[in-house]
Amino acid sequence: MKKLLIRLKKLPKFQWLVISVIVATFFTYYGVTSYINSGNEEPRWMVCNPKKDDRKPLYLMFHNTNKYEWKYKKRKWVKSINKYSREVIPTIEMYEDKSFFEESRIRWKLRPIYQSDNYYVFYQRTGGVAMFKGVAADKMIAQHIIMNRGDLSLLYYENEWIKNKFRKRKYDDEEIEKLFKEVEKFVLPYEDILLSNGKTLTASRSLDLFQCKEVSSIKPKI
């Protein structure tokens, strides 16, 4: 060991420089790589303000995680019992009311139906279920939450592209950019959906723009 130290001390300055660069590169690469591949990350909280005055702000939690099933009795998110649904994926929780982040409530995460280096598209379905006997159910609607990963602008896109009715909207970055341009102009309240039987459905839709900003946390009682 002493002989090794003596040899190292006798190395020229240039060789010391080369060794230093190699060591720094090693630790930087493996340090960063291990962080990126660590799986679950800490949640990121956001407040999304509407561009229109008639909309409420949205409170959002973005989280890369493999725990996206809410266990009400345990008051926590858990992994799915399905072994094929345990990969780490981007998810969001999104509410107009901050109190929905309380652990005493039933909560749900939205999962992506499209993602690229520039955008996420998250999906959920609302309506279609009668809450009380004798009361008509609300109309079933799909919500596509489109987020720009760079500037955190968000499109709140309600439509009738409902997955369990075999209506799958095709997305790519170019299509999403068209929607972002459209929302800055006049948005038609309807669109055509080509059905699997070859017929065309003239369906309702709405498109609203929000601007999100990251905050340290969202506490329901603030």
Task: Kindly report, residue by residue over 1-33, the tens digit of the pLDDT.
Answer: 444 444 545 556 555 454 554 444 443 333 333
Give the global pTM.
Answer: 0.75
- Choice among 53-62, 80-89, 113-122 with the minimum mean pLDDT: 80-89
pLDDT tens, residue by residue, 162-218: 998 999 999 999 999 999 999 999 899 999 999 989 999 999 999 999 999 999 877
**pLDDT for res 68:** 83
Q: Assess contact for 90 and 53: CB atoms under 8 A.
A: no
What is the dihedral angle through the alpha carbons of 126, 55, 148, 98, rounded to the nearest 10 degrees?
-70
User: What was the pLDDT predicted at 218?
Assistant: 77
Decide: 195 and 202 in contact? Cβ < 8 Å. no
d(CA 90, CA 93): 11
